[in-house]
Amino acid sequence: QVQLEESGGGLVQPGGSLRLSCTASKSIRSIYAIGWYRQAPGKQRELVGRMYNGGSTIYGDSVKGRFTISRDNAKNMVNLQMNSLKPEDTAVYYCNYAPLVGASSWGQGTQVTVSS
């Protein structure tokens, strides 16, 4: 099973930016998808954004136009650039690695808090 290490979370003011990174212990070159989900207190985990093997990307409706996923295959890393952050973006953000075969793996999560 792949190990995922997330970094970059923290406290930011509304309108600010943060960049999250997720480093995988295995190659991300030929997998089904890699991306980010988030879970706020009392809410279900929801999709933030996901990048598929062919390069296509989808985003949750609430983050479209503000968040961008990118990947660095050489470093086995996927990043999430978050701009124009809002208080409702406050959540624990999880990296997700979905192989072509088998179950997906989750990171331990990193807290993002948007508050003045």
The residues, ordered by sequence, that sit 6+ positions from 52 with a Cβ below 8 Å of its Cβ are 32, 33, 58
* Predicted pLDDT at 30: 84
Question: Using CA atoms, how far apart are residues 111 and 40, in angstroms rounded to an integer?
Answer: 10
Question: Using CA atoms, how far apart are residues 29 and 83, in angstroms rounded to an integer?
Answer: 27
Q: What percent of the chain has pLDDT over 70?
A: 100
In this predicted structure, the answer to whether residue 1 has a pLDDT above a threshold of 90 is: no
Model confidence at 37, in pLDDT bands (50, 70, 90)? very high
Spatial CA neighbour of 97 closest among 73, 69, 78: 78
* Predicted pLDDT at 54: 85
What's the sign of the alpha-carbon dihedral 12, 89, 85, 75?
positive
DSSP code string of 43-101: S--EEEEEEETTS-EEE-TTTTTTEEEEEEGGGTEEEEEE-S--GGG-EEEEEEEE-SS
* Predicted pLDDT at 8: 96
pLDDT digits (tens, 9 = 90+) for 43-94: 999 999 999 988 899 999 999 999 999 999 999 999 999 999 999 999 999 9
